[in-house]
Amino acid sequence: MTKSIDQYYSPWVKGIPMYISNHIEKAWRDPSLHRMMSNENPLPPSDKVLEAMAKYSKMANRYPDQGLVVRTKIAEMNGLEGPYNVMIGNGSSEVFDNIFRMFIEPGDEVIQHTPCFGIYGLRGKLLGATMVSIPMIYKDKAMHFDPDAILAAITPKTKIITIANPNNPTGNFMDAQHFVRIAETGIPFVIDEAYVEYSGLGLSQVALTKKYSNVIITRTLSKAYGLAGMRFGYALAAKEVIDQISGSLLPWNVGTIPMWAALAAFEDTESLAKRVEYNNSEVEFITESFKDIPGFVTLPSKSNYILFDCGPTGKTGKDVLAFAETKGIILRGETRKYDSEGWFRVTIGSKEENRLFVATVREFFGMAEATTDSLN
């Protein structure tokens, strides 16, 4: 008797479904909705990026090269020696995939700091890893990293430790000294800097890659650069590490158009500065907007999203999401944690969207319109 196809799947991948972001599907189906849920940038690409896209789209009949020009630019921007310190990918999610593939065998452990971005778990499980989730500490209306608990969770099976800095969805940075403590363990340490540009590269941990070959930095153009739909991300590390993890790259994984558009985005520093300034002033506007709602917690954010806990008000995040939906706003829900059902996250939208969001939340909590004119 022949075996059924079920018996041929790798045991650790069996039953893993396709990942679908239902909120993104919904937003594409109805463009009138306010997409305040996926940490996208509300501003469209700059003219310089659009010009590069148009120019290289005319050469779309040709295969791309390995992106030596853009990789050289990235190395320069980060004080690294050259393109051999940089691996590029189709978004930083793909970069994570490439890194994980080069280290993980079924049964290995990956340490993540939760709540965090879901791709680590998705890719880890696909490769048969056990995800070890270390919760952040929620104290004094803020979320705190717990490096001691991360170090204590290391076992002989630990193959990767990953931390986002700043973290999604909490929006905060870990103190620099703790990165050194984790780097010193020698265990592959992936620092996800998807949102670091909102605070500037001065807060990057990239310098650690020169001293510790186990440190790998990942970045993306999906956030401050505003090119989520283009798909471009990269990893920074010691030459020998980039050489090895690049062994898992699919040939021609990054297309000609994204490669050259990314270069244009890096060169257009003025446009990045404007985007960052816009974002940070809108984060401040929203952060200031709910201070008078008793029990409502707004977590301080250094990114393009803000996490809230309305648990102490007696309401749930789910209720806020449902009410926002009646106004055409899609927010992001969060699972129950720290004894609260009150979590939800907003992504910075256009000025109008942010004001609509504030008015909606205030209405939900029975508050009058905020007097925020001075912040407009």
Amino acid at 375: L
Q: Applying CB under 6 A, does 330 fall inside the site for ligand PLP?
A: no
Q: Applying CB under 6 A, does 347 fall inside the site for ligand PLP?
A: no
d(CA 35, CA 41): 10
Among 64, 233, 342, 349, binds ligand PLP (CB under 6 A): 233
Please report how close the Cβ of residue 218 comes to ligand PLP at its closest, in angstroms. 7
Please report how close the Cβ of residue 40 comes to ligand PLP at its closest, in angstroms. 9
Q: Applying CB under 6 A, does 190 fall inside the site for ligand PLP?
A: no
Amino acid at 181: R
**For the chain, what is the radius of gyration of the CA atoms?**
21
Judging by beta carbons within 10 Å of its beta carbon (0-12, 13-18, 19+), is residue 116 exposed, middle or buried?
buried
Strands 34-35, 130-135: pairing is unpaired
Among 194, 208, 259, 329, binds ligand PLP (CB under 6 A): 194
Whose Cβ is closer to ligand PLP: residue 234's or residue 296's? 234
Q: Of 46-54, 87-95, 336-344, 360-368, which segment contacts ligand PLP by CB under 6 A?
A: 87-95
* Closest CA relative to residue 30, chosen from 266, 373, 339, 330: 330
DSSP 8-state symbol, 239: H
Q: Is 225 in contact with 197 (CB distance < 8 Å)?
A: yes
Q: Applying CB under 6 A, does 228 fall inside the site for ligand PLP?
A: yes
* Closest CA relative to residue 369, chosen from 289, 273, 312, 249: 289
Among 85, 93, 304, 316, binds ligand PLP (CB under 6 A): 93
Whose Cβ is closer to ligand PLP: residue 192's or residue 334's? 192
Structure tokens at 365: 């909590």
Q: Is 76 in contact with 99 (CB distance < 8 Å)?
A: no
Torsion, CA 163, CA 14, CA 21, CA 261, rounded to 10: 70
Compose the 151-180 pattern: x for residues touching ligand PLP by CB under 6 A, - for all others.
-------------x---x------------
Whose Cβ is closer to ligand PLP: residue 159's or residue 345's? 345
Q: Of 90-98, 171-179, 204-212, 364-372, which segment contacts ligand PLP by CB under 6 A?
A: 90-98
Q: Applying CB under 6 A, does 91 fall inside the site for ligand PLP?
A: yes
Q: Of 48-56, 89-97, 122-130, 198-206, which segment contacts ligand PLP by CB under 6 A?
A: 89-97
d(CA 121, CA 111): 10
Among 97, 108, 109, 192, binds ligand PLP (CB under 6 A): 192
Whose Cβ is closer to ligand PLP: residue 85's or residue 162's? 162
Q: Is 316 in contact with 342 (CB distance < 8 Å)?
A: yes
Whose Cβ is closer to ligand PLP: residue 208's or residue 230's? 230
DSSP H or E stretch at residue 271:
helix 269-288
Kindly list the residues in this chain that would bind ligand PLP in the complex (CB under 6 A): 39, 91-93, 117, 164, 168, 192, 194, 220, 222, 228, 233
